[in-house]
Chain A
Amino acid sequence: GEDVEQSLFLSVREGDSSVINCTYTDSSSTYLYWYKQEPGAGLQLLTYIFSNMDMKQDQRLTVLLNKKDKHLSLRIADTQTGDSAIYFCAETTTRRTGGFKTIFGAGTRLFVKA
């Protein structure tokens, strides 16, 4: 089956690094995503990684993918209070119809303490 799991909460101090972890079950996943959602808002695409990569860096964000263990992580360097939000991990698989299906985790709520 298809499932994405994340820890529910993470609390860090301003300036520290945050690491949000995610595990997924579908080995045929092609893209893995990290989205950010602030209260009352839609989802903001932060970054994504192809399943044939093991790392991607984008400014303060580093994504690590361990395909063998089906584990994805998002590291936010120098975390700021503005980073406080819910972070969703998601995987996408291709359908037989040629379309795709995206499965989201329940989200990790990041609290940044000043």
Chain B
Amino acid sequence: DAGVTQSPTHLIKTRGQHVTLRCSPISGHKSVSWYQQVLGQGPQFIFQYYEKEERGRGNFPDRFSARQFPNYSSELNVNALLLGDSALYLCASSFLRREGEQYFGPGTRLTVT
């Protein structure tokens, strides 16, 4: 079975631009969470979606938004990119609406110049 997949693998953007990152969960998983991992730090929770509804949000500005599609895949959008948005963006999927085993994708490395 395929694990969590994310695209693209790497991305370079300029300050002020917009970016869309994509995630496909493990088959059968209905919950998707997004995390930002800055170099040398642990992942920071951004969003959790379950059944296409936002169920949790971390302390990130409104420039960050996400959505989940009927097939449970998800997009993370970031507007007006800042240098500080450079990070590894991780997606995790889980079966339950509540907490449980979360499985992570390989991440998208975003560099903002």
Tally of B interface residues using CB under 8 Å: 29
CB of A92 closer than 8 Å to a CB of B: yes
CB of B97 closer than 8 Å to a CB of A: yes
Interface residue SS majority, chain A: strand
CB of B58 closer than 8 Å to a CB of A: yes
- B 13-49 binary contact with A (CB < 8 Å = 1; else 0): 0000000000000000001010100001111110010
Binding site for A on B (CB under 8 A): 4, 31, 33, 35, 40-45, 48, 50, 54-56, 58, 90, 92, 97-107
CB of A42 closer than 8 Å to a CB of B: yes
Inter-subunit contact B41/A106 (CB<8 Å)? yes
Partner of B42, one of A31, A41, A92, A105: A105
Inter-subunit contact B99/A30 (CB<8 Å)? yes
